[in-house]
């Protein structure tokens, strides 16, 4: 499974950041990478006051998830 990952910080307080992930069950890694700009724009449009600093695509590793 492919995972889209982005790091965003509050526009008014850049010391407040969060990491968001989205599992993409219908995309390959290459498709995720070529769609990344659209995925960022979609996320940004739903989260006013936040600015995306970094983003990327990778293979989802369930063992990496912390509860």
Domain boundaries, the chain: 2-64
Backbone angles phi, psi at 32, to 5 degrees: -60, -45
pLDDT greater than 90 at residue 63? no
Question: Within 13 Å of residue 26, how many CA atoms lie on the same side as its CB?
Answer: 1
Mean pLDDT of 40-58: 96
Mean pLDDT computed over every residue of the chain: 92
- Residue 42 host element (H or E): helix 29-46
Whole-prediction pTM value?
A: 0.82
Q: Is residue 66 predicted with pLDDT exceeding 80?
A: no
Mean pLDDT along residues 46-57: 96
């Amino acid at each position: 499974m492919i995972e889209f990952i982005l790091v965003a910080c509050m526009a008014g307080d850049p010391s407040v950041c969060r990491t968001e992930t989205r599992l993409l069950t219908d995309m390959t890694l290459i498709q995720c990478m070529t769609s990344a700009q659209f995925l960022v724009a979609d996320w940004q449009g739903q989260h006013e006051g936040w600015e995306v600093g970094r983003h990327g695509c990778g293979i989802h590793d369930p063992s990496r998830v912390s509860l």
